[in-house]
Structure 1
Amino acid sequence: MWVSVRANVRVSSAARRSSREALQIATRAGGLSALIVVGMAVIGIAVLYATFYVWLGVGTPGSMKVTDLPLLLVGYGFGASFVALFAQLGGGIYTKAADVGADLVGKVEQGIPEDDPRNPAVIADLVGDNVGDCAARGADLFESIAAEIISAMILGGTMAQRCKIEDPSGFILFPLVVHSFDLVVSSVGIFSIRGTRESGVMTPTEDPMAILQKGYSVTIVLAVLAFGLSTRWLLYVEQAPSAWFNFALCGLIGIITAYIFVWITKYYTDYKHEPVRTLALSSSTGHGTNIIAGVSLGLESTGLPVLVISVAIVSAYWLGQTAGLIDETGNPTGGLFGTAVATMGMLSTAAYILTMDMFGPIADNAGGIVEMSQQPESVREITDVLDAVGNTTKATTKGFAIGSAALASFLLFSAYMDEVSSFSREPFKQVDIAIPEVFVGG
């Protein structure tokens, strides 16, 4: 929030000179916030891991095993979830209440334009954009990344212990290395978006969404290369020489899943595609048809993401199972870790995705500042285009956050079942929903 509220004025000022410069400032301001969020998750877990490792003397005779160390980090994930819960609820409710209230009193009752300085509720609306779309979404992805890292470390340690791998540190530290590379590749993607300061460039000459997509494509390519290097470096074991390649394919599945999520969300929310145009056309006949068409499109838009997530989980599990890692009884054990690696792949570009989310409220607030300061119409046209693109990128991050949370929850449940099996020394392979206590608790 501190970064976004200070970037708004700079973006509105840059829009007076060049649309590309305004896009660059908004993107880099969002990128700084995103890198801080992802960096805090990685650094926080790494510091805790190193502290416990040294404090407990892990690796010395009679001390805790290194494969059990990630279990001590679970509280970090609970804390992140606790904060994200209140940030999402409080920020989301405030954001929509302020947005709807400002539009009702301004457009409906008084008949004045959006972001008009005569409407004091506009200030609450602009503040709500920062609270709900910057702080809340950042907390949400922070929780998803923290939960995914911790659960993957637990699953990696458990699998290494079952397979009697001599040095399990690579499987445990792999999630931290992947997200450290995320900071690097996302930074390159963010800085690939460059602006100009040419005077007189007052109208957009290139679609801002296309520019952001180019930056995302750069990030995707670098993420694939970094993921392949990481798996070869940390996940290579002599007892299964080709296992690292299977896990690299799992990561590739996750990266492709993230890209498909972005594409699906863009199709359903971009004003250039049919769903939004159909909804706009249905609005010409009244409020009722708008609500019916909007709800039906919203329900329709969930079909493909659910299918993609399902295919990704099954494919990654199969690749993990066929990686060649077996336990003492000869059973393959890499399936769950394969899904964990796929989740890492999906979140390996999280910093850039969060950048696009932060871009939305910054562009929206810049448009409000331009309107309230009574800038020329040409400047408002530039900020309107950026605002429209920002609405699409915000929706993209919502879909990305939900998909990554679904995969992370699967990992957490799997890690929980593994830990119960280890504690009880009995196999725990299924949950019987017919038991009343389980049904009520679930």
Structure 2
Amino acid sequence: MSSEQRELLPYHTHAGHYSAGGPHTSTVGFYGKSEKAKETDIERIVSAYNALDLPARSTLTITVTGGFFGVLFLLWLICSDFAIFVVLAAILIAIGAILFSLWLLSWLSAFDEGTVAMREVSEPIREGAEGFFAVQYGTIVKISFVFTFVIILIYMAKDSNAGPGEIQYLSTYGIAFLTGFTFIVGALCSALAGYSGMWVSVRANIRVASAARRCYNEALQLCFRGGAISSVVNVALAVGGISTIILFLRIFLPAIPFVRLPLLIVGYGFGASLVAMFAQLGGGIYTKGADVGADLVGKVEAGIPEDDPRNPAVIADLVGDNVGDCAGQCADLFESIAAEIISAMILGGALADEAKLPDAAAAGFVLFPLGVHCMDLVTSSIGILLVRTKKGLPDADSAAGAPEDPLKIMIRVYMVTCIMSIVGFAGLCRYFLYFEDQPRAWLHFSGCGAVGMVCAFLFVIITQYYTDYEYPQVKRIAEASLTGPATNIIAGISVGMESTALPVICISVAVIISYYLGVGTEILGTGKTMAGLFGTAVATMGMLCTAVFVLSMSSFGPIADNAGGIVEMSQQDEQVRAITDRLDAVGNVTKANTKGFSVGSASLACFLLFSAFLDEVTVYTGKTFEVVDLAQPEVFIGGLIGAMMVFLFSSWAMESVGRAAQEVVKEVRRQFSECPGIMDFAEKPDYHTCVAIVSRAALREMVKPGLLSVLSPLAVGFVFRLLGSYWNKPFLGAQVIASFLMFSTSTGILMALFLNNAGGAWDNAKKYVETGALGGKGSDTHKAAVVGDTVGDPSKDTAGPSVHVLIKLVATVTMVLTPVFVSSATAGDAAAATAITR
């Protein structure tokens, strides 16, 4: 790079106006704020901790840790109520996990933020991400409050005789406001989970870029622990939020049987799902609108490399990594964990109630999910601290040899974490699920957990096989690029469709094995299904019992991507870029693998939610609801509408990215045309306009598909409830919405697998060509592969992840609005009972 070109860096941008940047320069940023971000309360706390000398920090850390375990031991000694003890312990462990994340944040904050040139790049990224996040979540808050009032009004307007079984002494108003309250708490926790992902990533990216100048191991640890901070907070919020609500209900509603308390917190799952949907949609539209626009004009038309500072859309692209991949993925996994905990609690309570277990044993079945995720916080936190290169290996590419592969490091520690989790899971089964009448039942449930862990591992392996260019499927797409973009796209669609087979078989086998392991406990005798359903719930817990570590691997990707962009735009040495490229390449693999993990967990979680819905209908009506009769035309139509809704949602999500990308393409072309000096560094691009374009597009486009996902199950269930009343079929609404739920879940699983894997395969086919294969960068093969990648981007980062949020959202909406779909006014009618049990 010439000295004239270097003089252009560092720089600030705002609406086409630029000023030379320096360590003391202050200019107005994208959202009208100072480029020097105001220090937050969390940063002040961390700074105060880091200001202490080493002995003082060590003493404080030991004191807090010792006090934490001391309080936990004291609770164990004095608490006579087993349920209260477990809930309080879960809350304490969640608090301890948040303190651990603050310690990790203080460790990360102690590292420098690199050169002035690096800071001049990272500050607009941080400001753009936080500005968009504030506007996006302002919109989500308004939508959430609207739905809170809708939920309350629906519950207040429902048939007052449709009392919820054993909790019927609660007034309609009490249930209405309690559901609205839990909805708001779930939405708030989900928003905090997403915000933590974005907040940490925009502060970790520059530190990773700076560390790459010094040490490969340091950059690796900063990148992984940066993702781990939000991951720990994510699961801690899920555990702490649900535990606190259960404690509140246990204290203030003691007359309600403990096994039925989970039915009162289904609003929490709906709130988490709603926020996750809009966060994933908005972030996905933002990141892929910018990415597709930047790639089409930058790589294909202008022939400049990725993250080149001459591309006007590059800052928007880097901002998108944070608001889409980090914030969206965090909210998504938070939703999965919350839905799994609540549905497993409902099924555990139903099993304990049907088996007439004593209070302590019944509480164990209800609270087991909290115990599993508390264990996850402990074992994954240990694993987080173990991620580092082996001693004696080189720290950077040199004549001494290449550094250790980051993926091998993470997989090695992941296996250690899994081993700890298997041992811990078995111990928790013995502690929570042992009772004298069936002393070996806990062994069966331990087996269910092992099935879930194996299923999670297989999902990761299968996803890697179809999306990593080390394997033949991706190379097939790359070879198809030799004859142009059309054959590349055909090959990608083929691989995506094929990639659905093995995961579906894997899920099917896991559900069957765990179901019959549960039935084999004979808790309810032979021929009873509830023990089998709880077995599938335990398998889902096993799949998610390493969620903290898996989410850390997922967040590793966008942080590494941002670090690489900062290094590229600040024109660092090739050796520095080589380190961030190595981290970025592995980050793409971990993102793809964790998407497979997310689909698998969503699949099992939706099965749990469906089973919990059936149990909830039973509680509200007093009639067993186990069979949905597809021979009834109304029920079949409900299923068909559910499958159609998934396709319509995916279409709208893809269309949204396309419209946003078109606006970006036009703007980038305009700048290249009107400012030809951009290409030879004589003029500076206007980054702000592209940021503003994708921000407006994301906020505008996320509303329509988001409302579709919420309103469609409500409309279908309510319409057929009314028709059922007219036709004297009082349970028609429940049956039709159950069919809607089954079909939308099945279709959504296949659609998400197809979109995620096809998109990942297209992406890595392009990266395979960029390694020098089949002509390398700049060749016609490469241009064809880039076109395929631009098709795959909205598939794997917008529509695909949003679909597996969709299926969980539909399930939680259905559970929350069960009173709308059923009525007990005719529950004693023999015809109704027949309709339910057909």
Shorter-chain TM-score tier:
over 0.9
Identify the residue that residue 201 of structure 1 maps to in structure 2: 395
Identify the residue that residue 389 of structure 1 maps to in structure 2: 586
- Does 2:218 match 1:24? no
Identify the residue that residue 444 of structure 2 maps to in structure 1: 246
Tell me how far apart the structure 2 counterparts of residues 112 and 5 of structure 1 sit (CA, whole Å). Answer: 25
Map of 1:46-85 to 2, 5 A cutoff?
46-56=243-253, 58=254, 63-85=255-277
Structure 1 pair 143–53 and aligned structure 2 pair: CA distance change class (3 A): same
Match of 1:214 among 395, 412, 433: 412
State the AA in 2 paired with 1:340.
A
State the AA in 1 paired with 2:462.
I
Identify the residue that residue 367 of structure 2 maps to in structure 1: 173
Structure 1 pair 268–65 and aligned structure 2 pair: CA distance change class (3 A): same
Please say if residues 155 and 336 of structure 1, whose CA atoms lie closer than 8 Å, have aligned partners that are also in contact: yes
Please say if residues 18 and 199 of structure 1, whose CA atoms lie closer than 8 Å, have aligned partners that are also in contact: no
The alignment covers a number of residue pairs equal to 436
Tell me how far apart the structure 1 counterparts of residues 273 and 529 of structure 2 sit (CA, whole Å). Answer: 32
Please say if residues 94 and 132 of structure 1, whose CA atoms lie closer than 8 Å, have aligned partners that are also in contact: yes
Match of 1:304 among 502, 516, 527: 502
Please say if residues 322 and 332 of structure 1, whose CA atoms lie closer than 8 Å, have aligned partners that are also in contact: no
- Does 2:295 match 1:103? yes
Match of 2:235 among 33, 38, 58: 38
Please say if residues 515 and 535 of structure 2, whose CA atoms lie closer than 8 Å, have aligned partners that are also in contact: yes
Kindly provide the CA deviation profile for residues 245-304 of structure 1, in whole angstroms up to 9, marking residues without a partner as x.
000000000011111111111222223222223322322332112111111111222211
> Secondary structure of the residue that 2:545 maps to in structure 1?
helix
- Does 2:472 match 1:274? yes
Q: CA RMSD in A?
A: 1.8
Identify the residue that residue 432 of structure 2 maps to in structure 1: 234
Please say if residues 242 and 323 of structure 1, whose CA atoms lie closer than 8 Å, have aligned partners that are also in contact: yes
State the AA in 2 paired with 1:111.
G
Structure 1 pair 146–332 and aligned structure 2 pair: CA distance change class (3 A): closer
> Secondary structure of the residue that 1:271 maps to in structure 2?
coil
More deviation in 385-394 or 141-150? 385-394
Tell me how far apart the structure 2 counterparts of residues 282 and 18 of structure 1 sit (CA, whole Å). Answer: 39
- Does 2:562 match 1:370? no
State the AA in 1 paired with 2:348.
G
Tell me how far apart the structure 2 counterparts of residues 317 and 335 of structure 1 sit (CA, whole Å). Answer: 4
Tell me how far apart the structure 1 counterparts of residues 419 and 431 of structure 2 sit (CA, whole Å). Answer: 19
Identify the residue that residue 337 of structure 2 maps to in structure 1: 145
1:194 is displaced (CA, Å) by 1.8
Match of 2:547 among 350, 368, 387: 350
More deviation in 43-52 or 381-390? 381-390
1:196 is displaced (CA, Å) by 8.4
Tell me how far apart the structure 2 counterparts of residues 330 and 324 of structure 1 sit (CA, whole Å). Answer: 9
Tell me how far apart the structure 2 counterparts of residues 421 and 256 of structure 1 sit (CA, whole Å). Answer: 33
Please say if residues 18 and 198 of structure 1, whose CA atoms lie closer than 8 Å, have aligned partners that are also in contact: no
Tell me how far apart the structure 1 counterparts of residues 585 and 327 of structure 2 sit (CA, whole Å). Answer: 20
Tell me how far apart the structure 1 counterparts of residues 343 and 540 of structure 2 sit (CA, whole Å). Answer: 10
Unaligned runs of 5+ in 1: none
Please say if residues 21 and 196 of structure 1, whose CA atoms lie closer than 8 Å, have aligned partners that are also in contact: no
Identify the residue that residue 256 of structure 1 maps to in structure 2: 454
Tell me how far apart the structure 2 counterparts of residues 120 and 201 of structure 1 sit (CA, whole Å). Answer: 34
State the AA in 1 paired with 2:483.
T
1:107 is displaced (CA, Å) by 1.0
Kindly provide the CA deviation profile for residues 308-339 of structure 1, in whole angstroms up to 9, marking residues without a partner as x.
00100010000000112016x98464100000
State the AA in 1 paired with 2:371.
V
1:356 is displaced (CA, Å) by 0.7
> Secondary structure of the residue that 1:37 maps to in structure 2?
helix
Q: Percent identity?
A: 59
> Secondary structure of the residue that 2:546 maps to in structure 1?
helix
Tell me how far apart the structure 2 counterparts of residues 202 and 214 of structure 1 sit (CA, whole Å). Answer: 20
Please say if residues 98 and 124 of structure 1, whose CA atoms lie closer than 8 Å, have aligned partners that are also in contact: yes
More deviation in 268-277 or 171-180? 268-277
Tell me how far apart the structure 1 counterparts of residues 411 and 600 of structure 2 sit (CA, whole Å). Answer: 19
> Secondary structure of the residue that 1:92 maps to in structure 2?
helix
Please say if residues 18 and 196 of structure 1, whose CA atoms lie closer than 8 Å, have aligned partners that are also in contact: no
More deviation in 376-385 or 95-104? 376-385
Rg bigger for which structure?
2
1:433 is displaced (CA, Å) by 2.5
Please say if residues 350 and 530 of structure 2, whose CA atoms lie closer than 8 Å, have aligned partners that are also in contact: no
Match of 1:186 among 354, 365, 380: 380
1:200 is displaced (CA, Å) by 7.9
1:178 is displaced (CA, Å) by 0.2
Tell me how far apart the structure 1 counterparts of residues 209 and 482 of structure 2 sit (CA, whole Å). Answer: 32
Kindly provide the CA deviation profile for residues 184-203 of structure 1, in whole angstroms up to 9, marking residues without a partner as x.
11111111112589998332
Tell me how far apart the structure 1 counterparts of residues 390 and 627 of structure 2 sit (CA, whole Å). Answer: 58
TM-score of the pair, normalised by structure 2? 0.51
More deviation in 287-296 or 38-47? 287-296
TM-score of the pair, normalised by structure 1? 0.95
Please say if residues 94 and 128 of structure 1, whose CA atoms lie closer than 8 Å, have aligned partners that are also in contact: yes
Tell me how far apart the structure 1 counterparts of residues 318 and 548 of structure 2 sit (CA, whole Å). Answer: 24
Tell me how far apart the structure 2 counterparts of residues 142 and 39 of structure 1 sit (CA, whole Å). Answer: 10
Identify the residue that residue 402 of structure 1 maps to in structure 2: 599
Unaligned runs of 5+ in 2: 1-197, 639-715, 717-739, 741-838
Structure 1 pair 208–271 and aligned structure 2 pair: CA distance change class (3 A): farther
> Secondary structure of the residue that 1:334 maps to in structure 2?
helix
Tell me how far apart the structure 1 counterparts of residues 252 and 317 of structure 2 sit (CA, whole Å). Answer: 48
Structure 1 pair 51–121 and aligned structure 2 pair: CA distance change class (3 A): same
State the AA in 2 paired with 1:399.
G
Tell me how far apart the structure 2 counterparts of residues 195 and 332 of structure 1 sit (CA, whole Å). Answer: 48
1:377 is displaced (CA, Å) by 1.4
Tell me how far apart the structure 1 counterparts of residues 392 and 323 of structure 2 sit (CA, whole Å). Answer: 33
Tell me how far apart the structure 2 counterparts of residues 200 and 417 of structure 1 sit (CA, whole Å). Answer: 57
State the AA in 2 paired with 1:156.
G
Identify the residue that residue 290 of structure 1 maps to in structure 2: 488
Please say if residues 228 and 548 of structure 2, whose CA atoms lie closer than 8 Å, have aligned partners that are also in contact: yes
Structure 1 pair 92–330 and aligned structure 2 pair: CA distance change class (3 A): closer
Please say if residues 393 and 404 of structure 2, whose CA atoms lie closer than 8 Å, have aligned partners that are also in contact: no
Kindly provide the CA deviation profile for residues 34-78 of structure 1, in whole angstroms up to 9, marking residues without a partner as x.
11111111110001100111111x2xxxx1111111111100000
Tell me how far apart the structure 2 counterparts of residues 243 and 333 of structure 1 sit (CA, whole Å). Answer: 14
Structure 1 pair 90–434 and aligned structure 2 pair: CA distance change class (3 A): farther
Tell me how far apart the structure 1 counterparts of residues 219 and 479 of structure 2 sit (CA, whole Å). Answer: 31
Structure 1 pair 143–200 and aligned structure 2 pair: CA distance change class (3 A): closer
State the AA in 2 paired with 1:405.
A
Tell me how far apart the structure 2 counterparts of residues 314 and 196 of structure 1 sit (CA, whole Å). Answer: 41
